Amino acid sequence: MLRVPRPERGLLLVVGGPSGVGKSTLIKGLREQLPEIVFSVSATTRAPRPGEQDGREYHFLARDRFEDMVARGGFLEWAEVYGNLYGTPWQQIADDVEDGRVVLLDIDAQGSEQVRGRMHDAAHVMILPPDRLTLETRLRARGTEDEATVQRRLAEGLEQLSHVGTYDYLVVNDDLETARATLVGIVLAELSKRQRRVDRVRAWSSPGHGGDSG
């Protein structure tokens, strides 16, 4: 576990990557190292599945309420997937980042592009497989889906990967420990940027050089 002083302005960390790339494992490892990271909970119009709780897996909303929030600009990004609406509520993320927190958002490439239009200092990270064969092998290794589903997920994954040129950072998940350390390093580097530590700049730029003030 790492102790990282809270910056004056926080960070929205957007993480993307195809199914089977190991994204969930890397995110879990990141949050173990930096437990103060806030995981953004999305909203959806789909019905809860057994064991899911409102506010934990998703904020489950009626369609008319969701559409009203869209009309009022209440989502940072949103999309319709297989007839259901999914979106990221905007205000809580804005408040958390303004308060110096790191907010992690796990969304696809289309959502990432929408975020770019509203939050210009977010950091966008794509988790990559070493190659196509490895991605397909990992999808098949689950052993829980039929061939048609595997092929659909592979096609969706390749489509996501085609947007790789729009991301700020690329993390190849070949060796898990290296990939995890790289992801942690990205967060630490982003939090060390001058524009997020105006307090330190101000302190050390003053005549008294009060750099020990926090």
Residue 142 falls inside a structural domain: yes
Residue 6 falls inside a structural domain: no
- Its domain, for residue 104, covers 11-190
Domain count, the chain: 1
Q: In sequence order, what are the beta bridge partners of 39?
A: 104
Cβ burial, residue 112 (10 Å; 0-12/13-18/19+): buried
The predicted-structure confidence for 94-114, as pLDDT tens digits, reads as follows 999 999 999 999 999 999 999
The predicted-structure confidence for 48-78, as pLDDT tens digits, reads as follows 999 999 999 999 999 999 999 999 999 999 9
Residue 135 falls inside a structural domain: yes
Q: Phi-psi bin for 199: left (phi > 0), alpha (psi -120 to 50), beta?
A: alpha
The predicted-structure confidence for 153-183, as pLDDT tens digits, reads as follows 899 999 999 999 999 999 999 999 999 999 9
Residue 4 falls inside a structural domain: no
User: What is the C-alpha separation between 125 and 198, in angstroms, rounded?
Assistant: 24
pLDDT of residue 190: 96
Residue 162 falls inside a structural domain: yes
Residue 42 falls inside a structural domain: yes
Output the pTM of the full model: 0.89
Report the CATH number that the domain containing residue 34 is assigned in CATH: 3.40.50.300
Nearest to 105 by CA among 3, 13, 36, 10: 13
CB 77 within 8 A of CB 87: yes
